[in-house]
Amino acid sequence: MPSAKDGRMSACGSCDKERKALYRASNPAAIKKASLKHYYKNKEVCLQKAREWKKANRDKCRMHNQNSPEPKERTRKRARQWAIDNRERYRLNMASASAKRRILKKNQTPAEITEAEKTQIKAVYRIAAWLREHGDNVHVDHIIPLSKGGSHRYHNLQILSASDNHQKRDKAPTDKELEIINVLQES
């Protein structure tokens, strides 16, 4: 058999397909890793090609989404399994998403929030999640409630027991309580 330019032996098309199929079947982890590496390296191109394909094949997409509950069920199953495997991250994500929804609804997301402050906010939610994992029934509470004009900033968050948070509801702190909070935050 003649040698190819790259030094490998040439093969017929069907033999090459069989060889590739055998490699894919025996190395799924390597294939997945290479696919992900390619995707992240060429993300914009891959997304553009996917958009073009969906646009050209709308009927196929529509039929697939309407007539096939299996992919939806598979997605739900995968999401449930991830939530079970990553309980703390799932709870953190849910708490954060819930707060984001309420904040967006009330239009109280500060535009000038920094990455450092985002990290501090996430840390508060992580601490609360850790406490819940270890048996404490706690909530992340806004000191000045969002409904009373409070913002979703690190200095306006506190961890309260669930019973205290339910008693507080959406009451704003008194002037005396605000003074105490300010003193505690400064120290």
Rounded Cα distance between 87 and 108, Å, is 29
Residue 57 lies in a domain: no
155-183 residue pLDDT tens? 888 899 988 888 887 787 777 777 777 77
In this model, does residue 1 exceed pLDDT 50?
no
Residue 133 lies in a domain: yes
Residue 64 lies in a domain: no
In this model, does residue 7 exceed pLDDT 60?
no
Residue 154 lies in a domain: yes
Q: State which residues form the domain around 112.
A: 82-186
Helices 69-85 and 87-106 pack at an angle, to 10 degrees, of 110
Rounded Cα distance between 122 and 96, Å, is 8
Rounded Cα distance between 15 and 21, Å, is 10
Give the HSE-up count for residue 123: Cα atoms under 13 Å, Cβ half-sphere. 9
Residue 164 lies in a domain: yes
Instruction: Give the pair of three-digit tokens for residue 145.
Output: 């409630």
Considering its fold, how many domains does the chain have in total?
1
In this model, does residue 3 exceed pLDDT 60?
no
Residue 31 lies in a domain: no
59-115 residue pLDDT tens? 877 766 666 666 677 788 888 999 999 888 888 788 778 777 776 666 665 667 788
Would you state the pLDDT for residue 48?
Answer: 93
